[in-house]
Structure 1
């Protein structure tokens, strides 16, 4: 299981790609280049004058900075998180979270449906990835949630509706921007849940 650097190390270390702050961000939010290239130096500058009293505070500070970014950068941040239902190339915490999506093994038809729903969602919302705070729910429940977001009837079809029939929503559209904000907020909720899994706050 991943562990976090101490708050004092995060506060006092120099800013670089391998700093205690960078490694903490990668554990809490999933590693992505924009975390270390953009968020790490922004937070490092803030921490020069702001005492860090908790990891939860660090998550809140991170979200505050991310919401100041332009839309392409926020979209890149979201894309660093694994897709719902993925089982490969997961961090240890993501693997634990994905494995916790239900006590019983997920039926293969649900896994196939999730893969198709991910493709549909990314066709509908170009540049976004479906993110949700699972919070112990099953993959089947998440599939139904995704169908609701996409306005689809419940189904276990692995290929319907056809991805080519999905009309994309422009990145300037209020619905697209609302999905982006929801995704960023849910990444923050996931990060705070990870703090609980790690026994810190």
Structure 2
């Protein structure tokens, strides 16, 4: 169990700071979350909607985010760390990526896989400027995720350093259909990650339901 606690659900209904804290746990902290999502959800919860669970809060949050323009949504997506990053990860991100302070050599990600992920992240961000690759890991290894990114990019599975070269990727314009498909997919995966975090945190009783 990860030692992170969500505020009791009743607290977030009337306290924007508590709502910010809860959303930062579920979605990762980011400036756009604090400046835009928290005020919007505070208004929705105060005037339009009464929630009874954190699951419902996540659904409303994702629906709200889907009304934003592409630039704001891309900023929200950027709040999540890149796959394979090890620095400055939240406890939940580290747990999801399989890096949770473990020094066991049998569970550590091999260096060649980490190098491959770093290169694939760079390739993806060249092809989809303004986005970063987000996926619901759901217990899969980083090696499997590397192959998933390769499939999205349309390149062969490989652990060769620097292959394919960044220069082979042409950038999709922001707002172009392929770019927007990736933005939509990433947003939905962030919602799935958040709901999985409820399971990780074993949110129940007064924390999850009123």
What's the TM-score bracket when you normalise by the shorter of the two chains? over 0.9
The farther-off stretch of 184-193 and 49-58 is: 49-58
1:114 aligns with 2:117: yes
Structure 2: state its 5+ residue gaps: 101-105
- 1:131-182 per-residue CA deviation (whole Å, 9 max, x = no partner) reads 0000011111101100000000111012111112211011121110000000
Structure 1: state its 5+ residue gaps: none
Question: TM-score, with normalisation over the residues of structure 2?
Answer: 0.90
Residue aligned with 1:31, SS: coil
Question: TM-score, with normalisation over the residues of structure 1?
Answer: 0.94
Residue aligned with 2:97, SS: helix
What's the counterpart of residue 39 of structure 1? 37
- Contact 2:86 2:99 (8 Å CA) reproduced: no
Cα distance in structure 2, aligned partners of 1:4 and 1:172: 35
Cα distance in structure 2, aligned partners of 1:164 and 1:25: 38
Cα distance in structure 2, aligned partners of 1:85 and 1:125: 18
In the TM superposition, 1:107-186 aligns within 5 A as 107-186=110-189
What's the counterpart of residue 202 of structure 2? 199
The alpha-carbon deviation at position 100 of structure 1 amounts to: 6.2
Q: 1:187 aligns with which of 187, 190, 193?
A: 190
Q: Which has the higher contact order (CA 8 A, sep 6+)?
A: 2
Residue aligned with 2:63, SS: helix
What's the counterpart of residue 18 of structure 2? 20
In the TM superposition, 1:49-60 aligns within 5 A as 49=47, 50-60=49-59
- Contact 1:100 1:136 (8 Å CA) reproduced: no
What's the counterpart of residue 72 of structure 2? 73
The alpha-carbon deviation at position 114 of structure 1 amounts to: 0.5
**CA-atom RMSD, angstroms?**
1.3
The alpha-carbon deviation at position 96 of structure 1 amounts to: 1.1
1:82 aligns with 2:81: yes
- Contact 2:98 2:141 (8 Å CA) reproduced: no
What's the counterpart of residue 91 of structure 1? 90
- 1:93-136 per-residue CA deviation (whole Å, 9 max, x = no partner) reads 111111269x7322111111001000000000000000000001
Cα distance in structure 2, aligned partners of 1:95 and 1:53: 29
- Contact 1:22 1:36 (8 Å CA) reproduced: yes
- Contact 1:35 1:77 (8 Å CA) reproduced: yes
Cα distance in structure 2, aligned partners of 1:39 and 1:104: 36
